[in-house]
Structure 1
Amino acid sequence: MNKVISATANFLNSSSLFITGGTGFFGRSLLRRISEINRHIVLKDDSVTVLTRDPNTFLNNYPEFSTEKWLKFCQGDILHGLENISNEGRIYTHVLHAAADSTVGPKMRSLERFDQIVTGTRNILDFAVKVKAKRFLLTSSGGVYGALPSDMGSFTESYDGMPNPLNPSNTYSVAKRLAEHLCGLYADQYDLEIVVARCFAFIGPDLPLNVHFAIGNFIRDALNGDPMIINGDGSPMRSYLYQDDLADWLLTLMDRGASGEAYNVGSDQAISILDLAKLVKLTLSSKVNIDVQGSGDAAGAIRSRYIPDIQKITQDLKMQISVPLTRAIELTAQKHSKISKLEVISG
């Protein structure tokens, strides 16, 4: 049996896990992975509780989770406190804060986004203290590092750079950095074990194809037979981790990441945006065109290379990338395609 599955099952059966953001991309990745684990090793009832503003709507959209005995939903909002839940008297040993992801954030005003991340994190930290949790995992972002220096190939956890805090367009990254600091303050005052996951870019069946993620847009266009449009020159470098690996890494960090430490979560296998488009074309549809509409510009240069160094999590916690990018593209496309089995074009 997969060692990660066995270890995670033991963790879930010996703890009580509370997850925020359980209905977003990160949350659905976690729930699907835990559901898969439950098929191998039966988990105890109500071992995972998910906070959501509207449980009924989520279950209507994703009915496959409605019969999972290990899963419990509770209604609430990270911005309005969780006294009704903490007053129930239930103890949660672990809290995984995955709310305020980058999917819907760009649609919010800067101050609103800041409050969602910073105030939301503080409310969940207060909740963790009230329910006597011993460990807290924050899903932060690789964006906290700011621009990658020219003499570095990837971001290491020890790099302390950050974006310009006076630029409102950096709200997400600066707020995530402040949320990390809040975790450090609560660890100091309340003896709470905190771990930070600095998350980069991901791919998987639950990734929306109609938002601002290049890889999702490319897959959508390939499936629809539309041109894959690249607004710049295609030179920025990115990397993508499959959602099952994301879930495994987060659950492992929740279980046994070192307290007071941050870990990069993502792939270190760099690929340019142009080469990514070519790979999607090769994998899904050789007939679509790639339309490079621009040249390198200052805005693109700010994030010309967004790649994590993952030696810390791979060496210290023995995590690994188990799904290659080509296979991840296939699996993502299969979910979104109306064809029951996607015909993969080999050349």
Structure 2
Amino acid sequence: MNYQQASKILVTGGAGFLGSHLCERLLAAGSDVLCVDNFYTGSKSNVAHLMSDQRFEVMRHDVTLPLHVEVDKIFNLACPASPIHYQFDPVQTTKTSVHGAINMLGLAKRVGAKILQASTSEVYGDPEVHPQPEGYWGRVNPVGIRSCYDEGKRCAETLFFDYKRQHNLDIKVVRIFNTYGPRMHPNDGRVVSNFIVQALKNENITIYGDGSQTRSFCYVDDLIEVILRTMDTPSEFTGPVNIGNPGEFTMLELAEMVLRLTGGKSKVIHEPLPQDDPRQRKPDISLAKAVMGWEPKISLEDGLKETIAYFRGVVKT
């Protein structure tokens, strides 16, 4: 990938978990990077190591407000992505997805930038089709406690494709499945960070439901690689394209692996399943393989080792 031709790349949500890794990769490729974040879930500490690079700039800004900058490419990652954070202020979550998409698409239209939307596997809801291909329209509760995120992201996809049809904008849409790795927020309520933090503190590991529900887990380095490859595809390719690791694990299997790798002595306890929690989630990545020649390389065990090492440095035990 050659990003040296681009004078400036905008990453919204650039101080978040995924955004900070993306900024790092773009800088390594020789790009000028403008990181925009309102620091609701993002953290300055995630990008502190990049601040000495003259090609890196941070701007505190909320994407629900218009932004006037000159850029060549836009990666729109801004939105809280964990249930704890996006349900805390659900109206603002919807605004971030919908108004944020409108503002970033408007910016892309004004400056002629190529723009990529970080969508989510949540657009599939609690799926009736398994694994989930891009052609599956999903099974989403439009009035549930997760709807602010699920429907906000679905509406953002609608906006992207309408801007493509109406204004011939160069768009890309990726649907991100569960991703984990260093710089995850310790209190984001996601299952990987929850289990690791609980194991390191020798607290009970909390599994919701009977633990038979499944997820697929993609290590952050693999995910950033396919995001970059997607942005580099010809304009004819828009997506949406699933990106994630098709390896499927039950919550019990994940808990057992985390306990083994941490050496923790925690007990596993069970709590009631939250409303609208999907029973299973696994991407069909045939399209990503065919178009981008990509598939994940890092195993769950190897990725967890890196993630646990990171959390040992940030979690007080």
Q: TM-score, normalised by structure 1?
A: 0.82
Q: 1:62 to 1:260 in 2, by over 3 A?
A: closer
Determine the structure 2 residue equivalent to 1:158.
135
Determine the structure 1 residue equivalent to 2:73.
94
CA contact (8 A) 1:59 1:66 kept: no
Distance, in Å, in 2 between the alignment partners of 1:94 and 1:80 is 19
CA contact (8 A) 2:10 2:33 kept: yes
| Counterpart selection for 1:174 from 136, 151, 166 | 151
Fraction of identical pairs, as percent: 25
Which structure 2 segments of 5+ residues have no match? none
CA contact (8 A) 1:235 1:272 kept: yes
| Counterpart selection for 1:321 from 296, 299, 314 | 296
Distance, in Å, in 2 between the alignment partners of 1:153 and 1:123 is 34
| Counterpart selection for 1:19 from 5, 11, 15 | 11
Residue pairs, 1:57-206, within 5 angstroms: 59=44, 62-83=47-68, 85=69, 90=70, 92-103=71-82, 105-133=85-113, 135-149=114-128, 152-206=129-183
Which structure 1 segments of 5+ residues have no match? 1-6, 340-347
Distance, in Å, in 1 between the alignment partners of 2:43 and 2:146 is 31
CA contact (8 A) 1:277 1:290 kept: no
Deviation of 1:73 (Å): 2.6
Distance, in Å, in 1 between the alignment partners of 2:9 and 2:231 is 9
Distance, in Å, in 1 between the alignment partners of 2:237 and 2:170 is 5
Deviation of 1:107 (Å): 4.2
Determine the structure 1 residue equivalent to 2:211.
234
Q: Which amino acid aligns with 2:35?
A: V
Determine the structure 1 residue equivalent to 2:246.
268
Deviation of 1:224 (Å): 1.8
Distance, in Å, in 2 between the alignment partners of 1:305 and 1:60 is 34
Distance, in Å, in 1 between the alignment partners of 2:117 and 2:291 is 19
Residue pairs, 1:286-305, within 5 angstroms: 287-294=264-271, 299=275, 302-305=277-280
Determine the structure 2 residue equivalent to 1:254.
231
Deviation of 1:26 (Å): 1.5
Q: 1:270 to 1:58 in 2, by over 3 A?
A: closer
Q: In the alignment, is residue 336 of structure 1 matched against residue 314 of structure 2?
A: no
CA contact (8 A) 1:232 1:292 kept: no
CA contact (8 A) 1:140 1:199 kept: yes
Distance, in Å, in 2 between the alignment partners of 1:109 and 1:323 is 34
Q: In the alignment, is residue 214 of structure 1 matched against residue 194 of structure 2?
A: no
Residue pairs, 1:48-59, within 5 angstroms: 48-53=33-38, 59=44
Deviation of 1:203 (Å): 0.9
Q: Which amino acid aligns with 1:147?
A: D
Deviation digits for residues 29-61 of structure 1, max 9, x if unmatched? 2123335xx2xx6x15xx22222347xx95566
Q: TM-score, normalised by structure 2?
A: 0.90
Distance, in Å, in 1 between the alignment partners of 2:231 and 2:301 is 28
Deviation of 1:322 (Å): 1.8
Q: Which amino acid aligns with 2:52?
A: T
Deviation of 1:294 (Å): 4.6
Q: Which amino acid aligns with 2:107?
A: F
Q: Secondary structure at the match of 1:139?
A: strand
Deviation of 1:259 (Å): 3.1
Root mean square deviation, CA, Å: 2.3
Q: 1:106 to 1:73 in 2, by over 3 A?
A: closer
